[in-house]
Amino acid sequence: MSAPAPKSTTQTDRSQPGTRLERALVTALLLAMILLPAASAVSRRMLGRELPGASVLAQHITLWVGFLGAMLATASGRHLGLSTLSLLPEGRLRGAGHVAGHAVSTAVCALLAWASILLVRVELQNHGVVAYGIRVAWSQMVMPVGFAAMALRFAWMAGQGERRWGGRAVALAAGAAAFALGVPAATSGLVTALVAVAFAAFLLGAPVFVAMAGIAMALFLGDGGASAIAAVPTATFDLVSSPTLPAIPLLTAAGFVLAEGGAAKRLVRAYKGLFGWMPGGVAVMAAFVCALFTTFTGASGVTILALGGLILPSLLEEGYPEGFSLGLVTAAGSLGLLFPPSLPVVLYAVVAGAPIDRLFIGGFLPGLLMILLVAAYGIWTGVRVGAPRQRFAAREAWRALWDAKWDLGLPALVVISVGSGTATVVESAALAATYSILVEAVVFREVRPLRDLPRVLSHAATLVGSVVLLLGTALGLTSWFVDAEVPAALVGWMTAHVQSPALFLLTLNVVLLVLGSVLEIYSAIVVLAPLVAPLGRAYGIEPIHLGVVFLANLELGFLFPPMGLNLFLAASRFERPLPSLYRHALPFLLIMAGGVLAITYLPAITTGVVHVVGR
């Protein structure tokens, strides 16, 4: 699963004039988000008190950034979804699938806009205040506006080819017809049909959030009529109550700025200087530098795209077999997912209600184990093929390390600020974003503040928008599951049929591995974590251990055929057929699977460090 390739900036501006204003606004809001928590942390250290209202303002700004980013993602076609439409033969069939997917997206977003208006009307009567006289209802206004804008954009994008206006008319008609569903309560047959339509649209490439919101609203429609669908945007707005939510856009912005600023080249040089003298040193370098880069970018596939062109030629020049080199770069693209400030860890903590700091602490040794296993295989291969070892040059290693000191300082900043209690998780994320901007704009001058920074931050916002909408609509679907007591029924069935915690963990590994290869990682977290967490409690699995096992399996799912995201990205990046990537990645899949099993059945790897640090 992946997001469709983005359009060029020029094309987006011509087809969607409003995107320029949206990019300017989302850039300003992201900068405000960065300044508020960072200034609050400094104020607490220097003046002994936080900035009043800073944390709650940051939470509400996250909602605005999320919806503006989602609007940009709609305009550029970068929502998270299946890329299956390209599998259909060109012609009428693919064109019909394109129109159908966009028509359903238009209808779902139109209904979400209407349901959000219901939410705003209720809040206007409550007169709630965010801070400094800003009313809660004013903050909520971005929801109906954002959903309505997305509905119109989906309708506009439904048109293509010679019959573009016909496709747009079909999508607009679907949006209008959606309001005919305002019946007291839908019949079970209608609910089943609507769920089937939403799922079919998902298979045709409609965004994941559209499918989940459509299914959730259909289920609520069957229970309580048209007004009940307001539960979906209500769950989305309830995200604001999560104090750690602002860490998502802040860490995303930090990672995008570092990636834009040439951190990849500096890290490759530094790690080559440190490990080049070892047997298999270049392979070790590849494992470690990819892992570190993934901590910045959150295992979103950026590692393969950004580092592949640097690392693959280095491996081939040193005499490593091409198949091994391709497999290593493909596998290493997901290493480092468990280290701070990785976004999937933050997202899991938000969804499952787990403490972020303990998740990062518990994930350190498991994450290091996965890297060492891949690096060990690289050493063995380097020795076997006789890869040359460069002489250790202390001066060059020191210079390379010194040049990369600012890049290496970001994860250190997050770990030290959170671990020492100097800053909260959100404040630490804001400090990381501030740090990355200063380093790339002032120290290295690779990111120009006026020309490059708005573009980079708007690109980061598109990912944030996709994740926030995904998270909000998934919570809406989860709320229906809770009302229908689905988690309780699942726990009851599992405990009745699977008695052993060890067997439960094995079953969990298999399910997560398969689903992790089919679902994009953010989708997998928001859909599966609310169901897995109560099962873990029923079997007495320590929550931090369960979270690390969950994320480690998703890390492995990036390599699991036939749909593992890293396999698709590597095949595209290096222009290789998918079956060859399956074969080259298989040894790494087996090696990392051994690491996941060790993490699963040796909980001390995770909990031991947590207990030691907790003392």
- The answer to whether 351 touches 530, Cβ cutoff 8 Å, is yes
Residues 6+ positions from 611 with CB-CB distance below 8 Å: none
With beta carbons less than 8 A apart as the criterion, state whether 235 and 495 touch: no
400 near 382, Cβ under 8 Å? no
Spell out the residues 6+ positions from residue 396 whose beta carbon is closer than 8 angstroms to its own.
Answer: 273
| CA–CA distance, 486 with 474 (Å, rounded to integer) | 15
Please, how many CA atoms are within 13 Å of residue 458, restricted to the half-sphere of its CB?
Answer: 22
Q: pTM score, two decimals?
A: 0.75
Average pLDDT (258-267) is 78
Q: Which residues contact 395 (CB under 8 A, 6 or more apart)?
A: none
Distance CA 578, CA 433 (A): 36
Q: Which of 68-72, 417-421, 580-584 has the lowest mean pLDDT?
A: 417-421
DSSP of 415-455, one letter per residue? HHHHHTTSS-HHHHHHHHHHHHHHIIIIIS--S-TTTTHHH
Query: How high is the pLDDT of residue 5?
Result: 37
Whether pLDDT at 300 is above 80:
no
For 55, 124, 353, 554, the CA distances from 465, given in Å and listed in that order, are 20, 25, 21, 22
What are the helix (H) ranges across 52-163? 54-76, 92-126, 136-140, 142-157
> Distance between CA atoms of 532 and 550, rounded to whole angstroms?
9
The three-class DSSP label of residue 131 is strand
Say which residue, 145 or 77, is predicted with more confidence.
145
Q: Give the integer Cα–Cα distance in Å for 264 and 202.
A: 35
Kindly state the average pLDDT of the residues 485-513: 82
**215-224 average pLDDT score:** 84
Give residue-wise pLDDT tens across range 60-87.
899 999 999 999 989 888 787 766 676 7
583-587's contacts with Cβ under 8 Å and 24+ in sequence apart are 583/323, 584/323, 584/324, 584/326, 584/327, 584/330, 585/326, 585/327, 585/330, 585/331, 585/559, 585/561, 586/327, 587/324, 587/327, 587/377
pLDDT at residue 96 greater than cutoff 80: yes
Instruction: Give me the phi and psi of 131, to 5 degrees please.
Output: -175, 150
Any residues with CB less than 8 A from the CB of 610 and at least 6 apart, and which? 358, 361, 362, 544
What amino acid occupies position 222? Answer: G
User: In whole angstroms, how large is the CA radius of gyration of the chain?
Assistant: 24
Are the C-beta atoms of 206 and 87 separated by less than 8 Å? no
Largest CA distance in the chain: 77
Helices (H) and strands (E) in the chain, counts: 28, 2
Q: Is 2 helix (H, G, I), strand (E, B) or coil?
A: strand
Closest by CA to 480, choosing from 242, 215, 245, is: 215
What is the SS3 assignment for 344?
helix
| 146 closest CA partner among 25, 268, 325 | 25
SS3 label, residue 92: helix
Nearest to residue 203, comparing CAs of 77, 88, 73, 70?
Answer: 88
* Cis check: omega of the bond before 344, within 30 degrees of 0: no
DSSP state of 242: -
Local confidence band at 93 (pLDDT 50, 70, 90 cut-offs):
confident
Query: Which residue type, as a one-letter code, is found at position 254?
Result: A
Residue of 9 and 54 predicted with greater confidence: 54
Q: Please, which pLDDT band fits residue 375 given cuts at 50, 70 and 90?
A: very high
Q: How confident is the model at residue 161 (pLDDT cuts 50, 70, 90)?
A: low
Q: Round the average pLDDT of the chain to a whole number and report it.
A: 82
Q: Report the distance separating Cα 509 and Cα 494, nearest Å.
A: 15
